[in-house]
Structure 1
Amino acid sequence: MAPALNRRQTLKSTLGWAGAAVLASRTERAFGFTSANERPRMAAIGTGSRWYQKATGVDSRYGSAPDMRKLGDYVAVCDADAYRVGLASDIAKEWTGESPRASSDYRSVIDDPEIDIVHISTPDHWHAKIAIEAMLAGKDVYCEKPMTLTIEEGQLMSKVCQQTGRICQIGTQQRSDKGFLTAIALIQAGRLGEVRKATCSIGGGPTSPEIPVTEPPKSLDWNLWQGPTPEVPFRYLAGDNGETQSWSRCHYEFRWWYEYSGGKLTDWGAHHCDIATWGLGKTQTGPVSVDPVMVKHPVPFREGNPVDPSRYNTATEFLIRAVFADGKEIELRHDQGNGILFEGSGGRIFVNRGRLTGTPVEDLESNPLPDGALEAVYKGRELTDHFRNFFVACQDRKDPISDVHSHHRALSTCHLAGIAARLGRKIEWDPETEQVIGDARAQSFIRRDRRNGFEIEIS
């Protein structure tokens, strides 16, 4: 895309024009990652613990950046917290030998024609806006899960990705894990018979004490951090809680506020419901009903909205059942550990990040899967880690293993579960039109208004 073309002009362009322009202007340099001068240039937008925990001041190797930097170079870092930008800048300089561009304004990254890949590790409510603008500006995207805050954002993500031809990998790394791939291969080989149900045990959500209103840290641009969401006071309470040693509306703890996330339903739900949807063969459709059989919240709700702004508000306990047109089911529940139980007419298997069990698994010793079975599940690609899969997809311009479209379908089930949980009633859903049937209030939760200045513009 011509450097003189500014962001406003880019976003006002039609999707078809944008897709043609960016595809025509890409250089071969972006598609190689073996030699130093061909490594893609990356920008990190959001430099919290999921990017790299060291950038939060914690001495830990947790995060995806150490794996991403093996295949590309971080030349820009961006975050609403200047303290984290400073740490991330130092880390990137250690890796590349050069200081990256450091900024709080992600638009400077979007406008830079020299950046090939945008790595999004912001809170959930920022994911879709940044990813859409990045794709429109001709960049490939690695976006941490969950991809979106609402179903409408997923629809927009899918549309923009398809029409621009960009590569977008979602950070649901279980899709590149051999245990989960084996589980899917067993299902597709008929080793469980007809699979009728998947139970996703994703853990319960936390509660908090009353969190007082206080001034945000001087390093944090609280207005920018809130972005598209309604403006509210900053809340913070120091204490022995999690990686931030606090309760707040902000870093890490944003997960437990419906304003910014979906609680466990979209946190671990994004991982396990994705695998469940894949196993049931429902990656191109959705449920027809979502029933909140049992849900507990830590604060009262009125018409689907929490009425106490001082405490975490996402569901703490739940059993939510999603039923598809053919009667197959996905259950999301807070108990029974962590993992996915697939039940079929000829057997059952349980899979999580450390275990794959069940009679069909035991039978592999005497009746192994045919050669190439896992590769077939892995879209015909050579088995590798999730990050290299993304870079290979950027090179050959074919869908990565965790593509936008299938993730949108799986995550829609999680979002519908959250809507049903908030309203306390069963929702009927049309997966073809992606509309709630006969419930205007529930339908209103499919999208959210965005604050002035933080709209998503695609045409």
Structure 2
Amino acid sequence: MKPNRLSRRRALASSLSFAGAAVLAGRDQRALGFAAANERPRVGAVGTGSRWCIKATGIDRPYGSAPDFRRYGDYVAICDADANRLAMASDLVKDWTGTKPKASADYRSILDDDRIDIVHISTPEHWHAKVAIEAMLAGKDVYCEKPMTLTIEEGRLMSEVCKTTGRVVQIGTQQRSSRQFIQAIALIRAGRLGEVKKATCSIGGAPTSPALPVVAPPKHFDWNLWQGPVTESEFHYLAGDYGETKSWSRGHYEFRWWYEYSGGKLTDWGAHHVDIATWGLGLTETGPISVHPVKVKHPVEFKDGYPVDHTRYNTATEFLITATFADGKEIEIRHDGDNGILFEGTEGRLFVNRGRITGKPVEDLKTNPLPAGALEEAYKNRPLTDHFRNFFEAARDQTEPISDVFSHHRALSTCHLAGIAARLDRTVHWDPKQEQVVGDPLAQSLIARDRRKGFEIEM
């Protein structure tokens, strides 16, 4: 660690302890948790789309994690392949800090900047692993929006680099810092459900699209750079009264519905709910032994795991997929039902989502509360806080954050395997120790992707 980073972290340790006093003293929102501007970590952002600002129905509005992130650190540099989004984010930073950040289309300018302590990654997931790995190797701590990776192979590599470099990496699965989810974990660990055998994750289905024509990308949008590591494709786009971007496309936001860049709902909401299910079942250090697609519906035909129609969204719209573990526990992933996670044990059931936590074990808390400190113990023996502060405190202390690379890799591997089983429409058998598909070379080939020349991960 560079001396200036060490001294700054020591200063942060003192300033964070006075967070409440700072608020009471009338400091502005930017200084929450930090006593002075030069004691705040400096942040570089790679990707400035939905987590920053979007243009919807003619109104620019702040959205997502970037406005919350600024409570604990100062953005000093930003990067995006879309010049319009880069300009909007630059204006936001100037509003927040009084100073425009260094703005560039090239994320390497952030990695090469010794002033920067933290890299905030909000790109589509096909860029996540490359940026995160190179940021760790450059000595930066990383906050990476979910899902962490596009493939299982990338998750293994991220885990190896994180362990080797010792960098602090938080994944943006913010449910891990939400009280009702932590309470669910604490109840399970206290034995209030008996032995938990199954978790059902209802994550919703993916949308379909009409056939999208090939058009020229907007001049402000570097389509080649946006594609980056994945196989090059023509730009498909159709304007319409649909979604966040008022369009169907291969680009902003809608990339989620193309296997070329994402895993659809299986890695979008699956990254959230399967993560909680894996945590609750105590399976964060292993993986399933088989993943079975009971039911899968795609909007296009597939051959050998790849879509044959490149003009339409192609991720699964309906599904029921079961992942079975060596100890007999099961995670069920489905498109229907009430969005959330249902845990089933030998002595009770518990349902939790972002709006509520219900079930007899919850009702019994009125007469049989959890012991003091049970929630904090579930939260890796730290005081409960918001997801961003948990990361900044972990970066300050050089400790593991609540949503770490290693457990997220295991949970997301289940999501990726569900996607592989869905694409092939057959059961996939998995060796969680070797992290390899058993007896199915085609399925094994889908745990990794070739990286486009010029966009390899620089190790």
Pairwise same-fold verdict (TM > 0.5): yes
1:158 paired to 2:159: yes
Matched residue of 2:362: which SS? helix
Deviation at 1:58, TM superposition (A): 4.2
Residues 48, 56 of structure 1: 8 Å contact kept: no
- Write the distance in 2 (CA, Å) between the matches of 1:347 and 1:241: 41
Match runs of 1:75-114 below 5 Å: 75-114=76-115
1:231 paired to 2:232: yes
Q: Deviations over 1:96-139 (max 9, x none)?
A: 11110010000110111111100000001000100000000000
Deviation at 1:424, TM superposition (A): 0.5
1:362 paired to 2:341: no
Deviation at 1:61, TM superposition (A): 3.6
Matched residue of 2:201: which SS? strand
**Partner of 1:28 in structure 2?**
7
Residues 421, 428 of structure 2: 8 Å contact kept: yes
Matched residue of 2:322: which SS? strand
Question: Identity across aligned pairs (percent)?
Answer: 73
**Partner of 2:248 in structure 1?**
247
- Write the distance in 1 (CA, Å) between the matches of 2:418 and 2:264: 11
Deviation at 1:445, TM superposition (A): 0.5
- Write the distance in 2 (CA, Å) between the matches of 1:209 and 1:391: 43
**Partner of 1:142 in structure 2?**
143
Residues 34, 71 of structure 1: 8 Å contact kept: no
TM-score by length of 1: 0.93
Structure 1: 5+ residue runs without aligned partners? 1-21
Q: Deviations over 1:247-306 (max 9, x none)?
A: 000000000000000000000000000000000000000000000110000000000000
**Partner of 1:6 in structure 2?**
none
Which one-letter code corresponds to 1:342 in the other structure? F
Deviation at 1:68, TM superposition (A): 0.6
Residues 167, 400 of structure 1: 8 Å contact kept: yes
Comparing 281-290 with 51-60, which one deviates more in the overlay?
A: 51-60
Q: Deviations over 1:211-257 (max 9, x none)?
A: 00000000000000000011111010000110100000000000000
Deviation at 1:53, TM superposition (A): 3.7
Residues 53, 85 of structure 2: 8 Å contact kept: no
Match runs of 1:19-418 below 5 Å: 22=1, 26-30=5-9, 32=12, 33-53=34-54, 58-418=59-419
Q: Deviations over 1:22-66 (max 9, x none)?
A: 467733225624321110110111000123447997433421011
Matched residue of 2:51: which SS? helix
Distance 1:354 1:252, change over 3 A: same
Matched residue of 2:161: which SS? helix
- Write the distance in 1 (CA, Å) between the matches of 2:327 and 2:4: 45
- Write the distance in 1 (CA, Å) between the matches of 2:399 and 2:308: 46
Residues 23, 165 of structure 1: 8 Å contact kept: no
Residues 47, 55 of structure 1: 8 Å contact kept: no
Q: Deviations over 1:391-416 (max 9, x none)?
A: 00011111000000000000000000
Residues 78, 86 of structure 2: 8 Å contact kept: yes
Which one-letter code corresponds to 1:223 in the other structure? N
- Write the distance in 2 (CA, Å) between the matches of 1:304 and 1:156: 23
Residues 76, 109 of structure 1: 8 Å contact kept: yes
Distance 1:427 1:23, change over 3 A: farther
Which one-letter code corresponds to 2:171 in the other structure? I
Which one-letter code corresponds to 1:398 in the other structure? T
Q: Deviations over 1:372-431 (max 9, x none)?
A: 000000001011000000000011111000000000000000000000000010000000
Residues 49, 56 of structure 1: 8 Å contact kept: no
- Write the distance in 2 (CA, Å) between the matches of 1:39 and 1:54: 30
Residues 55, 88 of structure 1: 8 Å contact kept: no
- Write the distance in 1 (CA, Å) between the matches of 2:345 and 2:5: 47
Distance 1:57 1:275, change over 3 A: farther
Matched residue of 2:61: which SS? coil
**Partner of 1:444 in structure 2?**
445
Matched residue of 1:412: which SS? helix
Matched residue of 2:60: which SS? coil
Residue-pair matches, total: 437
Comparing 35-44 with 129-138, which one deviates more in the overlay?
A: 35-44
- Write the distance in 2 (CA, Å) between the matches of 1:170 and 1:255: 18
- Write the distance in 2 (CA, Å) between the matches of 1:233 and 1:450: 17
**Partner of 2:16 in structure 1?**
none
Distance 1:281 1:376, change over 3 A: same
Matched residue of 1:86: which SS? helix
Residues 52, 64 of structure 1: 8 Å contact kept: no
- Write the distance in 2 (CA, Å) between the matches of 1:132 and 1:54: 31
Residues 56, 245 of structure 2: 8 Å contact kept: no
- Write the distance in 2 (CA, Å) between the matches of 1:245 and 1:284: 41
Residues 52, 66 of structure 1: 8 Å contact kept: no
Which one-letter code corresponds to 1:395 in the other structure? R
Residues 200, 272 of structure 1: 8 Å contact kept: yes
Matched residue of 1:83: which SS? helix
Question: What RMSD in Å do the two structures reach over aligned CA positions?
Answer: 1.3
Distance 1:436 1:23, change over 3 A: farther
Residues 53, 63 of structure 1: 8 Å contact kept: no
Residues 43, 119 of structure 1: 8 Å contact kept: yes
Which one-letter code corresponds to 1:124 in the other structure? E
Which one-letter code corresponds to 2:373 in the other structure? G
Deviation at 1:90, TM superposition (A): 0.6
- Write the distance in 2 (CA, Å) between the matches of 1:79 and 1:308: 29
Which one-letter code corresponds to 1:437 in the other structure? V
Structure 2: 5+ residue runs without aligned partners? 13-33
Residues 71, 391 of structure 1: 8 Å contact kept: yes
TM-score by length of 2: 0.93
Matched residue of 1:60: which SS? strand
Matched residue of 1:275: which SS? helix
Residues 292, 321 of structure 1: 8 Å contact kept: yes
Comparing 43-52 with 415-424, which one deviates more in the overlay?
A: 43-52
